[in-house]
A and B are shown apart, each in its own frame.
Chain A
Amino acid sequence: MSQTNISYKQPLLETPFHEKTREKCYAHDWYRWAGYKAVNQYTSTELEYTSMRNTAGVVDISPMHKYSVKGKDAKKFINKLITRDITNIQPHQVVYALWCNEDGFVVDDGTIFCFDENNFRICSGERNLNWFEDTAIGFDVTIEDISHSIAALAFQGPLSCKILHMLNANNIENLKPFCFDQFTINNQEITISRTGFSGDLGYELWCEPLQAHDVWDALFSFNKNYKILAAGLDALEMVRVEAGFIVVNADLMAAEHALRPNRMRTPYELGLAWMVNLDKEFFTGKEALIKQKNKGVEKKLIGLDVQGDKPALGSVLYNESKNEAIGIVTAAMWSPSLKSNIAMGYVDKQFMKLGSKVLAEIYHLEELEYRKIWAQCKVVKKQFITLERRNAVPALI
C-alpha cells in the first residue's frame, strides 16, 4: 500500500474552481494560500480592483478555513470563544468576530454563521482546529474541519446584486447585510451571505465542490453587457485596505503564531473595542482585556492620510521632530477610488487621536536608486471608504 493522496511533485492543492481560475489567469501570477494554489493577479490588478468598485469581481476564497460547530453547547462554546456576545443570534445571521488568548491577544478573526441553536459554522483566515478543540473541552459540542468540502467565492461590487438577481436568486435584493440564505443559481442550490472583505456591496457564495464550475460560470453569464472580472488576491488586498479591514498575520501576529511575544495585539490595540463585550459572563481573555481597558493601550492601529503619492509601504513612523520612532506602517497603497495615498499602521498612544500629525519615512525606489521621502501624515479613521450601497436594503439592482 503506497501513499496516494500526497506527492512531493504536487505540494499544493487545487481549489474546486481551479480549472476555471487557471483558464482566466493569463498573467500566470500565483501564490500559496493555506496550502492551495491561489491567483495573485489574473490579468492586471488595476483592472481587477476597478471591477470590484465598478461592476463586480469574483474572488476564489475556497482556501479559507471553515469549521462546523454542532451540538447542544454550540452557542455556549462560541460565546466562550469570541469577544462578542451572540446570545441573541438568530438563524441566518452572520457575525464578524475575534477570539483571543488568555492575555487578550488576538488568535484570529472570522465570521460565525448561525444555522440554528445547535449548528454553526466558523470561517477563519488561519487554522484553528486545535484552538477550537481545546476551547471545547468540557462542552457538549463537536468541531469538524470542513475546509476542503466547501467551495467559496467572494462576489463583490456594485453590480453583484443585479447579477444575482438576473440569475433568479429569489429576493436577493432584500437579503440584509450579515445575513445568509439558500438560493438557486444555474440549477444549483447554494448558500449566499451578504458579507465580504471589500467594504462595498457584495456577497459570498458557498457551495459544494461539485457545484463549483456551474456557479462560477453563472456569474459570468452576462459579461456581454456587464463585464465581471475574476479578481486575484492583490486586488482584494487593495479593497480591504480601503475598507479598513485587518488581516491577521499581516497587521498583527496571531497569538498562536507569533515568535516574538511583543508582536501580538489586543482588540483594543487594533481599534476594535466595539467588538469586545465585557458584560458577557465569560470569554477567553476577558480578565486580561478588562485590565487593558482600564489601563489604556500603549499603541493603536490607525489609518493614515499620507502626503504625496508614494505609498508608505513598510515605513517607520516618526514624531514631527524626527528623533523618535513612534510607529510602523503595516499596509499602504495609492487608492485609485479616493485618489489618495492611504495607509494603516501603529502609532504610540500620544499620537492615537484623530488628526494627530506624524511623519512617515518612505524609501521610494526610482530606477535603482532609493529616494528618501519624509511624508506628512494625518491620523484618520481606518475606514477610508464608505459606500451607501454597501448596506442598502433593498440592494441595488
Chain B
Amino acid sequence: MSKYDAIIIGGGHNGLVCASYLSKKGCKILILEKNENLGGLVNCASSLNGFSSKILDDLKIDLPKLNYNSYVVALHSDQQHTILQENNNKINFIKSNASGENQKKFSSLINKYKIYASTLSNFMYEVPPRLKSGNSKDTWQLINMGWKIRKLGKKNMREFLRVIGLNIADELEDNLSDNNLMGLLAHEAILGSNLGPRSPGSILSLLYRQAIQNGLFASEKYDFHQLIPSLEKICHNQGVEIKNNASVKKIITTNNQASGVILDNEEKIDAGIIISNADPKTTYFDLLGTEPLDTDFIRRAKNIRTKGNIAKLTITLKENPIIQNIDKEKMNAKFIYAPDINYIERAFNASKYNKYNENLCFEFHHCVNVIVANIYYVPHVKNNTHNKERLIQHSINLLKPFISNLEIEKAELLTPNEIEEKYNVTGGHWHHGDFEIDQMLMMRPFYGSAQYTTPIKNLYLCSAGTHPGGGITGINGRNAAKKIMRDKK
C-alpha cells in the first residue's frame, strides 16, 4: 500500500493550491519540486494580483495588506509621463496630457470590458463542459453559460459577441485619440500573449486579465511575496510532504493507469493518483512519454502553441533609481513603456519571425535599488541563439532615457529559452500555452485533455495550461482538485 494518495509533480502555485485543497479532504499528498525553491514561474511574475481571492478565503490565507497607494506610470519619451491610480476599480488620472474626452473614454472602455470580464469569470471556477458529449451535465452547463451571457442584456450581449473576436487596436482607435493611453491599454491586453495590438483575439486576452484581477493594472493590494510561503505553511499543517531538489524522470503507468513516478536518482515512489503541475507538453512528451498515448492525441499535443516571448531583466543599480517628473511617493508604481499602438505592433512584428528589434516594450517595478523588468517581445528561439550580451544592452538602452542615474552594478537576463530551462516550462511561456479562442475552455489545452484529465486513468493536469488559463490565479489547481475529488466518488 502506497504511503501517498497522490503525488503532485511540480511545486508551482497551482500544485500547492491543489495540494492544499486535496489535503484538506484528508488526502495524503507528496509534492516533488525539481528546483531548490518552490513557486515555479511565480518567481518570474510581474504581479500576483491575479491570484483568486476566493481561494485565499477557502484556504484561509491571510496575506498582509500593503499600505501604499498603487500607481501606474506610462512612460513618455518627452518625460511628460502619464500617472494613473486605480482605486476600487476607478481610474484616477493624477497627471496626463490626454484630453478630458480621452480620459473619459479610456475609463468607460475599461468599465465596459469589466462587465464582460465578470461574465467570463463566472466560467472560471468550473470544470469546462464538453460539447456534444451526450452527458446531460455538460449540456446543462452549456445552457447555463449561454444564459449567463444572455443576462448581459441585449445591448451588452451584442457588443460582447462583437468584441470577443476583435483586436484591441481597432477598438482603441475607434474610441480614443491619445496615443499614449491607447498604448497603455494595448499593453495590458497583450502582455503574456503571442498577439499584437492588431491581432484578433487581443481583446479577449484583455477580458481574461480583467476577469482574474482586481482592477486592470494589477496594482498589488496584498503582499504577495508571502503567497508561496503561506501556501507552503498550509500544506505543511495539513500533512503534505514536500521534497525539493527532487526531479521526476518518468511517470509510471500500469495497464493504462498511473501508478507512480521515478525520480532522476532512480528512486521509485508509488501513488494511486499522479497530478502533473508541469505544462501539458512537458507532461506528455517528457514525463509520461508517448508510449501510452494514441497517435492522434499526440498530434494534438504537439500542436499546442507554446512560444514564450517575455524576457526577465533584473538590474542592481548603484543607488535607488530616479525618474524625471516622478516624485518619491510615486516611485513604487508599475512603470510601463508602450508608447503607442504602432510601436508595439512593430515590436511584435519581429517576434513573429523569432527575431527582435531594438525597440521593445517593457514594464518594471523597483524595490530599493533593484529593478525587475519584463521585456517583450523577446521570442523563444530554437537552440537558444540569443546574443545575450546584445539583448541585455538593448534592454538597458530602453531604460536609459527614463532613469537619469542608471549606473549598473549587476545585470541579469532570463530569455524565454532560459525560463524554459530553469522552470521546465515548454517555450518559456508564461501561461503554458497561448490563451486564444481555440485554446480556451473545453479546448484548453486540447480535446481529450481539457477537463484536467488525461487518457491515463488517475493522471491529472493542474497547470496553467488547463482551464481557465494563466495569470497566476491558482484556479487551475483548485479546479483540478475538485475534479479529482469528484472522480474519486
Residue in B255, B302, B448 whose beta carbon sits within 8 Å of that of A137 in the complex: B302
A281 to B296, CA, bound (A): 18
Contact between B256 and A139 (Cβ–Cβ < 8 Å)?
no
Q: Which of B123-131, B220-228, B286-294, B324-332 contacts A (4 or more CB under 8 A)?
A: B286-294
A281 to B285, CA, bound (A): 19
A373 to B84, CA, bound (A): 85
Residue of B nearest to A138 (CB): B290
Contact residues in A for B297 (Cβ distance below 8 Å): 102
Among A76, A80, A131, A139, the most chain B Cβ lie within 10 Å of the Cβ of A80
A137 to B281, CA, bound (A): 13
Q: Which of A158-166, A284-292, A355-363 contacts B (4 or more CB under 8 A)?
A: A284-292
A131 to B285, CA, bound (A): 18
Count, chain B residues at interface, CB 8 A: 16
Contact residues in B for A137 (Cβ distance below 8 Å): 285, 290, 298, 302
Contact between A134 and B295 (Cβ–Cβ < 8 Å)?
yes
Residue in B255, B290, B296, B448 whose beta carbon sits within 8 Å of that of A139 in the complex: B290
Looking at the assembled complex, report how far the CB atom of A351 sits from the nearest CB atom of chain B, in whole angstroms. Answer: 26
Contact between A284 and B299 (Cβ–Cβ < 8 Å)?
no
Contact residues in B for A134 (Cβ distance below 8 Å): 295, 298-299
A106-144 interface (Cβ within 8 A of B): 131, 134-135, 137-139
B160-204 interface (Cβ within 8 A of A): none
Q: A102-B448, A137-B302 are in contact. Are A282 and B291 (CB under 8 A)?
A: yes
Residue of A nearest to B288 (CB): A138
Residue of B nearest to A81 (CB): B295
Classify the interface of chain A: helix, strand, loop or mixed: loop
Contact between B296 and A138 (Cβ–Cβ < 8 Å)?
no
Contact between B448 and A138 (Cβ–Cβ < 8 Å)?
no
Looking at the assembled complex, report how far the CB atom of A175 sits from the nearest CB atom of chain B, in whole angstroms. Answer: 34
Among B285, B291, B292, the most chain A Cβ lie within 10 Å of the Cβ of B291
Contact between B295 and A102 (Cβ–Cβ < 8 Å)?
yes
Contact between B289 and A138 (Cβ–Cβ < 8 Å)?
yes
Band of interface residues on A: 10 to 19
B26: interface (CB < 8 Å): no
Contact between B290 and A287 (Cβ–Cβ < 8 Å)?
no
Contact residues in B for A80 (Cβ distance below 8 Å): 291
A286 to B292, CA, bound (A): 10
A139 to B285, CA, bound (A): 11
Looking at the assembled complex, report how far the CB atom of B91 sits from the nearest CB atom of chain A, in whole angstroms. Answer: 49
Looking at the assembled complex, report how far the CB atom of B157 sits from the nearest CB atom of chain A, in whole angstroms. Answer: 33
A284 to B294, CA, bound (A): 4
A235-293 interface (Cβ within 8 A of B): 281-282, 284-287
B342-401 interface (Cβ within 8 A of A): none
A286 to B295, CA, bound (A): 12
A101: interface (CB < 8 Å): yes
A241 to B297, CA, bound (A): 35
Q: Which residues of B contact A (CB under 8 A)?
A: 255-256, 285, 289-292, 294-299, 302, 448, 455
Minimum-distance CB pairs A-B, first 4? A138-B290, A102-B294, A284-B294, A135-B295
8 interchain pairs, CB-CB under 8 A = A76-B291, A102-B294, A134-B298, A134-B299, A137-B285, A139-B291, A282-B292, A284-B294
